[in-house]
Amino acid sequence: MNVSAVIVSFDWGVNYTSTEVNLTSVFAIKPGEAHMFTVSFTVPSTTVASNLVTHKYKIYVDDVNATTGAKKLLYNNWPLDLSNFVVFSSTQADAKEIERELDKYDWGYTIPYYFYSGEARELYILAKGAKTQGYNAYVKGDFATAASRYHEALDKIEIAWANETTMYSGFEKSLKALVDSGQGVLNMVGYGYTLFGIGFIFMGIGVLVYLVRKSGTPKVST
């Protein structure tokens, strides 16, 4: 296939062409091989390419009969129809970026069981409400409000997790201190039982000696 042009045509009425190939610089693709062509362009303003709908576009590839000399266009390539190309305004892009950050957290619970403190639970509920408000504003096209609500939700969920980390850290330190102090008590109790046991050993030896001394050969009276 001798490629002389790669063109992308969008539904807003503008065509964009790859600068890699043209009629004087044809790229030959051998059977069984492939090549990636790049089409670079600047997305127009939202007054030209609306940011409220998804866009359709077509990809055209021109194939000629030779790489040098006189060339004839071969009409054996149907355009490739595609869709779902999205154009974002700057505010809309900001809202979408924050929404992606929020999606990193688990929002499947009314009150997450893994939150230990009441403060973290309250912050989670407030963050979830702000996230819902952000989504509702986004689908209405109010991207500034959406970005603001999403940002509020992200701040609250991050504070909730930070607070939870602090609480767990304090709990762990307190538990360690308790274990350490308890270990000292156990050591003292252990030493006491050890000394108490040694005393019984000595007592047992004393009794045995006493019994041996008391159990000598009886005297015969005359």
What does the pLDDT profile of the chain (222 residues) look like in tens digits?
999 999 999 999 999 999 999 999 999 999 999 999 999 999 999 999 999 999 999 999 999 999 988 888 887 778 999 999 999 999 999 999 999 999 999 888 777 777 878 888 899 999 999 999 999 999 999 999 999 999 999 999 999 888 887 665 555 555 566 666 666 555 665 656 555 555 555 555 555 545 555 555 555 554
Distance CA 145, CA 62 (A): 46
Q: Are residues 120 and 169 in the same domain?
A: yes
Contact 166, 117 (CB under 8 A): no
Per-residue pLDDT at 143: 96
Per-residue pLDDT at 166: 67
Per-residue pLDDT at 204: 53
Number of domains in the chain: 2
Q: Are residues 55 and 110 in the same domain?
A: no
Q: Are residues 65 and 103 in the same domain?
A: no
Q: Are residues 98 and 83 in the same domain?
A: no
Angle at 83 (CA atoms; ends 81, 85), nearest 5 degrees? 135
Q: Are residues 97 and 181 in the same domain?
A: yes
Point out which residues pair with 110 in neighbouring strands: none
Q: Are residues 106 and 82 in the same domain?
A: no
Angle at 77 (CA atoms; ends 75, 81), nearest 5 degrees? 135
Residue type, 151: H
Q: Are residues 51 and 108 in the same domain?
A: no
Q: Where does a domain end: 65, 87, 109?
A: 87
Per-residue pLDDT at 137: 97
Distance CA 4, CA 77 (A): 12
Residue 48: how many CB atoms within 10 A of its CB? 12
Question: Which residue range is the domain that position 83 belongs to?
Answer: 2-87
76 domain-assigned: yes
Q: Are residues 95 and 67 in the same domain?
A: no
Per-residue pLDDT at 195: 53
Per-residue pLDDT at 70: 87
Q: Are residues 96 and 178 in the same domain?
A: yes
Q: Are residues 170 and 100 in the same domain?
A: yes
Per-residue pLDDT at 192: 60
Per-residue pLDDT at 88: 93
Per-residue pLDDT at 5: 95
